[in-house]
Structure 1
Amino acid sequence: MISDGMADVLRSLRHGDSNVLAVACARALGVEGVAVSLLVGEDQEVEPLWRSPGLTARFEELQFTLGVGPGPDAARSGAVVMAPDLRAVRSDRWPALLPQVRELGVAGVCCFPLGLGGIRLGVLSVVTSIPSAVMPEQQCVDALSLAAALTGLLLEGDGNGQAASGTVTGAPRELHRAVVHQATGMISVQLDVSLAEAMLRLRAFAYSRDLPLGDVAGDVVARRLRFNDDRDGPYSPDGRKG
């Protein structure tokens, strides 16, 4: 049975502001934060939709930059991914992600897929700053109920998981993920490679410079950064290496 706190959240989910609801969801679950990401585009990229501020936002940005982690795994597999104690996760599972996540102060992440049957829409991530051997039963029941409610809202959208802008499931105004796809297309042309290869190059550059993926993509779109060939790598239009 869901808790009274989560019942209150579910009643306000349809018309609530995503920023307020993110905080309310985290409070009801008794965790550091929550995040919702969607599978978008033909390549089914996992992109953040809304999330709690602070630690959770930084964690989601890191997952998006690297393209790996418990969130992407849950979204693409359609299976729950439980990692309530990241110290117990094998180092080779998410080798690029784990060291940075621990430095952020994220102790555990449990991810619940959003979807129905063969339809996969996204993922709900529950982020904790205190490790636990298992996710508490009440917390798990509440998280599953929240995931089911979010799935229902997404399925009521336009058929592609997109509801009207400004709702809890609408397009995020603050994330501007379209710029990443535009930059990927530009890099694909610059390097004469596939879109998948271009995205890998973009992510690798952002990761190597410890920069948010969106910031690097913005520089590419604004033509402040251009990707050269494999010998020279990215460079800036004024002749300096990027």
Structure 2
Amino acid sequence: MGSSTGMAAVLVGLCARDGTGLVGGDPVLCARVLGVDGVAVSLLPDGKGSEPVWATPGTGLRLEDLQFTLGQGPGIDTVASGSHTLEPDLDRVDPDRWPALLPELRTLRVRAVFCFPLLIGRVCLGVLTLHRRAPGPLDDTEMDDALILVGALVSMVLSNSPGQADLATSDDPSVLYRAAVHQATGMVSVQAGVPLPQALLLLRAHAYRYGRPVLDIAEDVVARRVHFRNSGAAGSEPDPSGGKGR
């Protein structure tokens, strides 16, 4: 499948809708057409925290979750700058740039990352992230196709506003909008007696310490399997019993 034919198939798939109204399309096909090993799209429904809504399974979603958990990475830089973040060889990136993320990416065997902002004027709606297991830049055709895809995604986000909920992940719709994370952050804020930003940091720190996705920890909090009653400024451990017997 040639590049033009392949990208056309990706765009047609993105616009296909089934009876549920979900956006169609195959992110694995998209990655193959773009000459990368994985692709992810994250949106910014509140202008702050990003939420992965369409991605190749495995590393694509894990990369997004790590950036959310650690609060650093190319996607976050892209949102902050409103411009592309293109790193064709992560071994050449200054270790101080993403000190917590880079070792994790080596473990995931991610060697190159390319992030593109989804912009309307100066407003960033989200980020398209591509990654490769081998170092090397995008060639001219791949770059052009990525920009075409960005334009299509921006149009789709605008057409789906204000909810933006018609985009879905390829393998786990529960990740959509990280509803559990938002709910858990509020619960932790009350339990630990801390502001919402600090509550989110507690969730992230707990996830990073135990090597689990933030979403998993959030779902444990919402299900009351983990309780942060004593995890405020003192930094004590969450209660895995859900606070029973207190």
1:148 matches 2:113 = no
One-letter code aligned to 2:65: E
Q: Which residue number corresponds to residue 85 of structure 2?
A: 81
The separation in 1 between residues aligned to 2:69 and 2:58, in whole angstroms, is 17
What CA deviation, in whole Å up to 9, does each residue of 1:37-67 have, x standing for no partner?
01122x6101111101122222222223223
Q: Aligned ranges for residues 203-214 of structure 1 at < 5 Å?
A: 203-214=204-215
Deviation at 1:239, TM superposition (A): 7.1
Are the structure 2 counterparts of residues 173 and 239 from structure 1 closer, same or farther at C-alpha, using a change threshold of 3 Å?
closer
Q: Which structure 1 residue ranges, 5 or more long, are not aligned?
A: none
SS at match of 1:40: coil
The separation in 2 between residues aligned to 1:196 and 1:238, in whole angstroms, is 22
Q: Cα RMSD over matched residues?
A: 2.4
Q: Which structure 2 residue ranges, 5 or more long, are not aligned?
A: none
One-letter code aligned to 1:190: Q
The separation in 1 between residues aligned to 2:12 and 2:241, in whole angstroms, is 52
Q: Which residue number corresponds to residue 25 of structure 1?
A: 30
1:105 matches 2:113 = no
Contact 1:29 1:142 in 2 (8 A): yes
Across the two proteins, how many residue pairs are aligned to each other?
Answer: 233
Deviation at 1:232, TM superposition (A): 2.3
Could you list the structure 1 runs, at least 4 aligned residues long, displaced by more than 6 angstroms after superposition.
none
Q: Which residue number corresponds to residue 38 of structure 1?
A: 43
One-letter code aligned to 1:129: R
SS at match of 1:120: strand
Q: Which residue number corresponds to residue 51 of structure 2?
A: 47
Are the structure 2 counterparts of residues 187 and 5 from structure 1 closer, same or farther at C-alpha, using a change threshold of 3 Å?
same
Contact 1:14 1:168 in 2 (8 A): no
SS at match of 2:128: strand
- Give the TM-score, by structure 1 length: 0.87
Contact 2:27 2:54 in 1 (8 A): yes
Q: Which residue number corresponds to residue 192 of structure 2?
A: 191
Are the structure 2 counterparts of residues 196 and 29 from structure 1 closer, same or farther at C-alpha, using a change threshold of 3 Å?
same
Q: Aligned ranges for residues 46-65 of structure 1 at < 5 Å?
A: 46-65=50-69
Are the structure 2 counterparts of residues 231 and 146 from structure 1 closer, same or farther at C-alpha, using a change threshold of 3 Å?
closer
The separation in 1 between residues aligned to 2:155 and 2:16, in whole angstroms, is 14
- Give the TM-score, by structure 2 length: 0.86
